Amino acid sequence: MVEPLRRDLDRAVEASMDLFSRSRVGSVAPIDPRRPSDVLLALDGTSQDGLGTAIAGQFRQRFECKVSIVDARENVTSEELAEQAAESLGGQVQPKTTGDGYEQILAAVEHSQCDLLITPCPYGRDLESVGPDSAGTVIDVLLARCPVPVLVVRQPYEPQGEMFRRVRMILTAENEIAPLAAAWGAGLIGRGGVFELILVLEREMYENFNSLIQSIAPEMEVSADSLSNALAHKYMRLHRGLQKTAAAAGFECKLKLEVGGDPSTSAATDDGPRSLLVLALERSDPRSQGSVAARIRQSLNPVLVVSGRGGQQPPTAP
């Protein structure tokens, strides 16, 4: 009884992949890239501010978007930081409010009507002083409540040339926000860059799935390859849409599969500066929340988090 069930599962995965490849891949529309039209830059007086300002400046040049700046330091009434940045960026200072950092930033998001937030992470502390495994309470609240994508700035570096010529988007399970996150990644990638769609079968997910199967059929173990293929099948349309967008926009798109998924040792972990990590956050899914939090803590490069509660329609080009 065990062997037939194993064969049935493997055949189902293979049949689905074959059917998809034959009948559906060719009709996939390209992903419609999302680019900011109004960026809000939050400043906190840390060493991360310089890189955040540089990113906002590049976005202003590349996308001809508006830039607003808020001095979100806690227990500080001065707007000096925002005024200085506004002068260099040609941006507008947002009114400073009182309260915790996240309250000030969320108020500025609402007032500015921005469509992208850039903020230091961890907030209010230099990354060097607290260690790379820290994100902070302010970031946790922003990810839970901010209505627009959040680009968090981690380890500061000196920008040279166009940034984000490498974009890495990591997916670990079914995620309804993935098409929207991919659209933002495709919109922000530097000219001639490489977009890597990395599908990670996390060890915990694999073990939990096996435990479930074995509770029904003891002695049975589904191979990691079968589950990886199922994950690839789930995101094949997204990959094909990205490939079409890449061909039209002049960047390269790659698909990678990985089994294991420990963020601290994963091949998907940052291997150099000036790349952008893109994450899709389903706020209603605790697994998605945990995965995004772990990836942010492990990243030293900027991280773009695109969030929502599911039900997002895939953004496709007309």
The CATH number of residue 193's host domain is 3.40.50.12370
CA–CA dist 79, 223 (Å, integer): 57
In this structure, what DSSP letter does residue 20 have? H
282 falls within a domain: yes
12 falls within a domain: no
Q: Domain range spanning residue 176?
A: 38-201+231-308
The letter for the amino acid at 155 is Q
Q: Which backbone phi and psi does 29 adopt, to 5 degrees?
A: -85, 155
Q: What is the pTM of this model?
A: 0.82
209 falls within a domain: no
CA–CA dist 255, 236 (Å, integer): 9
248 falls within a domain: yes
Span of 21-35, 67-81, 111-125, 152-166 with lowest mean pLDDT: 21-35
Contact yes or no for 84/60 (Cβ under 8 A): no
Q: Tokens standing for 150?
A: 């959040």
CA–CA dist 103, 157 (Å, integer): 28
Structurally, how many domains does the chain consist of? 1
152 falls within a domain: yes
197 falls within a domain: yes
269-301 tens-digit pLDDT:
555 557 999 999 999 998 899 889 999 988 889
2-60 tens-digit pLDDT:
455 545 544 444 444 443 443 344 578 999 999 999 999 999 999 999 999 999 999 99
CA–CA dist 307, 177 (Å, integer): 7
185 falls within a domain: yes
7 falls within a domain: no
Q: Which backbone phi and psi does 76 adopt, to 5 degrees?
A: -130, 130
